[in-house]
Amino acid sequence: MKIAVLPGDGIGTEIVSEAVKVLEALDLNFEMESALVGGAAYEAHGHPLPESTLKLAKEADAILFGAVGDWKYDKLDRPLRPEQAILGLRKNLGLFANFRPAICYEQLVGASSLKPELIAGLDILIIRELTGDIYFGQPRGRRVATDGHFPGAEEAFDTMRYSRPEIERIAHVAFQAARKRNKKVTSVDKANVLETFQFWKDVVTDVHKEYPDVELQHMYVDNAAMQLVKAPKAFDVVVTGNMFGDILSDEASMLTGSIGMLPSASLNSSNQGLYEPSHGSAPDIAGKGVANPLATILSAAMMLRFSLNQEAAAQRIEAAVQKVLAQGLRTPDIYSEGTTKVGTAQMGDAVVKALTA
């Protein structure tokens, strides 16, 4: 089993090291090979996703990814910016199905500023379409307006776009996932305003006919953003487009205690997957050794489950994470009074110890 390890930038390198430690402790004979990606690859090779990195990723059974990006690249031409690396990997590998499970571990319930009854036992799954929408739609660019409110003015534009097969395949993924859970799908759209998302709603409704055992609910994205904090446990599987899914998953992360607790899996149609925390490179805390590695470690567990056929090992990691939380160990983002503050490496070491104990 070959794992491509792409740490990236900022806290990406710190958190991926911890996940690699955990994978190594499993003694499962993985072959792991690292490569530069994002700003780090731009510095070394002049491109955020060098051919060699893409080749490694394509040939691997699974990819463990950290994060990319730094404010210092904000002025680069868009194709050279670090974020293009993750977008390029998603597109080139066809990683259209993004799973972002928001699970609130019982040890973190009391520490949250949210009411315990709201989040205790929370286990919802956001399924975000990952290779379409306004992220990839063409045309896009800058120009001088020839119409609109200010003809003659400089303007910028992107294209929000979805085809029927793109919506169908993510809808199938969502209904099939719901079948293994509480059999409820909430499809989040903006059908009241956008043609793209009226189409989304129509296609999801069509696909639903094949899943009469699963309940389908449609919800506008603005209401969904509100319901996620009002009554998050009313959701089971949430399926939505690329941009809404990006935003709602960051929001949902706070129901779990921190963005540092939200793992993700991005799969293509052959179940090859890229596994990364849902957060970014966190330049504000990079290099300080305080980032929470648990989202990345939990992403490694998803990798074992979805791409490497190692369910037992996945469960071992998840149990080890719960054990360190039960021991009271907390990185600063999930710290509360009465618990023990630890750094990134100490947290990783504790998970390794809990695995092998």
Annotated binding site for Mg(2+): 222, 246, 250
Catalytic residue among 61, 123, 158, 250: 250
Residue 253: other Cβ atoms inside 10 A: 21
Residue 276 within binding range of Mn ion, rule CB under 5 A: no
Residue 86 within binding range of ligand IPM, rule CB under 6 A: yes
Rounded distance, CA 106 to CA 317, Å? Answer: 16
Given a contact cutoff of 8 angstroms between Cβ atoms, the answer to whether 259 and 250 are in contact is yes
Residue 154 within binding range of ligand NAD, rule CB under 6 A: no
Residue 129 within binding range of ligand NAD, rule CB under 6 A: no
- Could you tell me which stretch among 40-48, 137-145, 226-234, 281-289 binds ligand NAD (CB under 6 A)? 281-289
- Could you tell me which stretch among 41-49, 205-213, 246-254, 309-317 binds Mn ion (CB under 5 A)? 246-254
Burial class (CB in 10 A: 0-12, 13-18, 19+), 312: exposed
Residue 292 within binding range of ligand NAD, rule CB under 6 A: yes
Cα separation values, 345 from 241, 331, 349, Å: 35, 10, 6
Given a contact cutoff of 8 angstroms between Cβ atoms, the answer to whether 93 and 118 are in contact is no
Residues 203-242: x/- map of binding to Mn ion (CB under 5 A)? ----------------------------------------
Q: Footprint of ligand NAD on residues 208-247 (CB under 6 A)?
A: none
Residue type, 268: N
Rounded distance, CA 343 to CA 316, Å? Answer: 22
Buried b (16+ CB within 10 A) or exposed e, 137-164: eeeeeeeeeeeeeeeeeebeeeebbbee
Torsion, CA 76, CA 277, CA 11, CA 321, rounded to 10? 180
Rounded distance, CA 346 to CA 149, Å? Answer: 56
Decide if 250 is catalytic.
Answer: yes
Residue 197: other Cβ atoms inside 10 A: 25
> In angstroms, what is the minimal distance from the CB of 174 to ligand NAD?
21
Among Mn ion, ligand IPM, ligand NAD, none, what binds residue 87 when CB lies within 5 to 8 Å by partner kind? ligand IPM
- When the beta carbons of 86 and 191 are compared against ligand IPM, the nearer one is 86
Among 2, 34, 45, 83, binds ligand IPM (CB under 6 A): 83
Write out the two tokens for 303: 């990798």
> In angstroms, what is the minimal distance from the CB of 184 to ligand NAD?
28
Among 240, 258, 278, 307, binds ligand IPM (CB under 6 A): 278
| DSSP-derived pairing of the beta strands 141-144 and 154-157 | antiparallel
Task: Count residues binding Mn ion (CB under 5 A).
Answer: 1
Decide if 158 is catalytic.
Answer: no
- Could you tell me which stretch among 107-115, 208-216, 225-233, 280-288 binds ligand NAD (CB under 6 A)? 280-288
- When the beta carbons of 129 and 246 are compared against Mn ion, the nearer one is 246
Decide if 27 is catalytic.
Answer: no
Query: Which spans of this chain sit near ligand NAD (rule: CB under 6 A)?
Result: 11, 15, 67-70, 83, 86, 259-260, 276, 279-285, 291-292, 295, 333
Instruction: State the catalytic residues.
Output: 135, 190, 222, 246, 250
